[in-house]
Chains A and B, each alone.
Chain A
């Protein structure tokens, strides 16, 4: 029972972070239907940048975080402007592979600047344990869940009330009509990349502050795709619901299946879920089923 509660709480927390990263994917997919496979590498390099600010440059927290957000905004803008803008209206194959190339490049930059490739972020949250019933849980996880929820709420409000948010939703709905209304579609694309990078960076910092910065962060970014697939590609609600489900499967499966299977089964569960969803319900729980015409 104690074990179970701990697994559930860590699972939900990690799943929330996955959901956050997945939101970054859905943002771009919704507005410009570009599949961003460089998400893992964006998570990696933003965590390293946070490390550079907090540990290498010794900036205080109040200065470091705005800088990280600025960095993520700049990263998103640069990627969109230099690599994706010239490829507007190209086939999906080109759009997917260009993000793979970007990811490859970013990973190279990360090894170039931080060649030791494993390090720890300073702990951002208090580490005192809290007792829930008989379970003992690190307070960090509660903080992570709280911050994720905060970002979700902010994004939802942004999409509901802000002019740019409404423009983004409109672009996702009908690009032609939006252009006819005089909304600069390229600016919408650019903003969506910037926001996506910020969201991914926040996710990266949260998970790196618990688990440290390793190359596994790229894999974390890829695991977030299982959230996207399960929730449905173009659904924010789907991402928020599917995230904790994936996190729970991962931590419960890792906890209870390891004795029966090989060690490290935890790392593979999200990928197995991807295959299962693909075979049973490829458009996910809340995704829009595409009907194609010839």
Chain B
């Protein structure tokens, strides 16, 4: 397929390997080394950006399994992230349980809530499911806002993440925690997509009735997709809570959910590379826009009052629409095209 000329597979294991050639290995190890030594040469500001990217990546990978692989459109992802964030916050803050317990419980709790709101997916799909998940988003945020345990209107403070006496205090130490989990999630998703479960997801996405006729249990696989997707959202939420240290329910609005959908579309639905590219693209765009370009413009030209708050959603909306029209398969597809062009050059056939 995409192997360079002269490389052959002699065993099944070779055929199934993710990294096929020595160059692959060298590039992969180089990337890992670069990634995990980056706290040395990145400033704290960019480290916190990287942490946010890592956390977003975990949630986006989950959403990609749900939307990109299983085809179940969910516009309530920020709500499920909020479930994870608040579960972890309440457990570690009020009940003073260790961080790891909070992290796992956050994932499970979000997964279970996801299962409940995923139940209608067995009977409906497409637009109906989109509306159900929007309703889920509003109901979740409303409960968080009004329940006396969570008090979403006021800020809740979250203790630092600690594992066995090590407190993840600095951005650099959090970077290792977050990137470790993000790498684990990506690896899990990559492998899940190649197993029976992943193939079943793809069959359900392409035509769920045909999949059912072929003997795929729709109830099981759709709910499994919801559980895995929301579990990852819960993990991301827990990390987000401990990363911020304080939060309120306003951070998990419907706009955030739409942005998550936007990220995986821009990156490329149904690929593992897609969420990575999409998350990096959107988060960097956001940071460069609000952190660099807008202040620079404000310093030089007189801008209307709403420019700073209005330009980001305008640009994000525009980017989502443009990608859907011009490149519905996302940046990941462009990258694949570039790779094959590069590999085949100068004889491009």
Contacts of B259 in A (CB 8 A): 104
Contacts of B320 in A (CB 8 A): 97-98, 100-101, 104
Q: Mark A97-108, 1 if CB is under 8 A from B, else 0.
A: 110111111111
Contacts of A293 in B (CB 8 A): 209
Contact residues of A between 76 and 114, Cβ < 8 Å to B: 83, 86-87, 90, 92-94, 96-98, 100-114
Of B131, B255, B309, the residue contacting A274 (CB under 8 A) is B131
Interface of A is mostly: helix
By beta carbon, the residue of chain B nearest A29 is B127
Contact residues of A between 190 and 226, Cβ < 8 Å to B: 219, 222, 225-226
What CA separation (Å) do A110 and B320 show in the bound complex? Answer: 18
Contacts of A115 in B (CB 8 A): 304-306, 309-310
Of B124, B138, B317, the residue contacting A278 (CB under 8 A) is B124
Contacts of A107 in B (CB 8 A): 255, 313, 317
By beta carbon, the residue of chain B nearest A222 is B134
Interface residue B288 (Cβ < 8 Å from any Cβ of A): no
Interface residue A55 (Cβ < 8 Å from any Cβ of B): no
What CA separation (Å) do A163 and B222 show in the bound complex? Answer: 45
Most buried by B among A93, A111, A112, A278: A93
What CA separation (Å) do A292 and B213 show in the bound complex? Answer: 13
What CA separation (Å) do A37 and B258 show in the bound complex? Answer: 11
Report the minimum CB–CB distance from A81 to chain B (whole Å).
Answer: 12
Contacts of A105 in B (CB 8 A): 313-314, 316-318, 321
Query: Is the CB–CB distance between A87 and B127 below 8 Å?
Result: no
Contacts of B94 in A (CB 8 A): none
Interface residue B42 (Cβ < 8 Å from any Cβ of A): no
Report the minimum CB–CB distance from B89 to chain A (whole Å).
Answer: 19
Report the minimum CB–CB distance from A225 to chain B (whole Å).
Answer: 5
Query: Is the CB–CB distance between B311 and A97 below 8 Å?
Result: no
Of A104, A113, A267, the residue contacting B313 (CB under 8 A) is A104
Contacts of B311 in A (CB 8 A): 108, 112
What CA separation (Å) do A278 and B261 show in the bound complex? Answer: 22
By beta carbon, the residue of chain B nearest A273 is B135
What CA separation (Å) do A87 and B323 show in the bound complex? Answer: 11
What CA separation (Å) do A74 and B302 show in the bound complex? Answer: 30
Chain B interface category by residue count: 35 or more
What CA separation (Å) do A108 and B319 show in the bound complex? Answer: 13
Query: Is the CB–CB distance between B312 and A108 below 8 Å?
Result: yes
Contacts of B120 in A (CB 8 A): 275, 278-279, 282
Interface residue A262 (Cβ < 8 Å from any Cβ of B): yes
Contact residues of B between 120 and 150, Cβ < 8 Å to A: 120, 123-124, 126-128, 130-132, 134-136, 138-139, 142, 145-147
When A108-B313, A111-B310, A274-B135 are in contact, do A35 and B127 touch as well, CB less than 8 Å? yes
Q: Mark A153-185, 1 if CB is under 8 A from B, else 0.
A: 000000000000000000000000000000000
Report the minimum CB–CB distance from B264 to chain A (whole Å).
Answer: 10
Interface residue B210 (Cβ < 8 Å from any Cβ of A): yes
Interface residue A63 (Cβ < 8 Å from any Cβ of B): no
Report the minimum CB–CB distance from A195 to chain B (whole Å).
Answer: 20
Interface residue B325 (Cβ < 8 Å from any Cβ of A): yes
When A115-B309, A268-B139 are in contact, do A96 and B73 touch as well, CB less than 8 Å? yes
Contacts of B75 in A (CB 8 A): 37, 100
Contacts of A112 in B (CB 8 A): 304, 306-307, 309-311, 314
Query: Is the CB–CB distance between A108 and B131 below 8 Å?
Result: no
Interface residue B27 (Cβ < 8 Å from any Cβ of A): no
Most buried by A among B67, B117, B127, B319: B127
Contacts of A17 in B (CB 8 A): none
Query: Is the CB–CB distance between A275 and B132 below 8 Å?
Result: yes
Contacts of B315 in A (CB 8 A): 108
Of B67, B124, B138, B317, the residue contacting A222 (CB under 8 A) is B138
Query: Is the CB–CB distance between A225 and B131 below 8 Å?
Result: yes
Query: Is the CB–CB distance between B128 and A268 below 8 Å?
Result: no
Contacts of B245 in A (CB 8 A): none
Query: Is the CB–CB distance between B130 and A96 below 8 Å?
Result: yes
Q: Mark A271-292, 1 if CB is under 8 A from B, else 0.
A: 1101100110010000000001
Contacts of B269 in A (CB 8 A): 93
When A104-B317, A108-B310, A111-B313 are in contact, do A268 and B127 touch as well, CB less than 8 Å? no
Contact residues of A between 212 and 268, Cβ < 8 Å to B: 219, 222, 225-226, 228-229, 233, 262-264, 267-268
Query: Is the CB–CB distance between A278 and B328 below 8 Å?
Result: no
When A83-B325, A94-B328, A268-B142 are in contact, do A275 and B262 touch as well, CB less than 8 Å? no
30 contacts between A and B (CB under 8 A): A90-B324, A93-B269, A96-B126, A100-B258, A100-B261, A100-B320, A101-B321, A101-B324, A102-B317, A104-B259, A107-B255, A107-B317, A108-B310, A108-B312, A109-B314, A110-B310, A112-B306, A115-B310, A226-B135, A229-B128, A262-B147, A271-B135, A272-B135, A274-B131, A274-B132, A278-B124, A278-B131, A279-B120, A282-B123, A294-B210
Which 9 A-B pairs have CB atoms at the shortest separation, nearest pair first? A105-B317, A112-B310, A115-B306, A108-B313, A108-B314, A101-B320, A104-B317, A262-B146, A271-B135
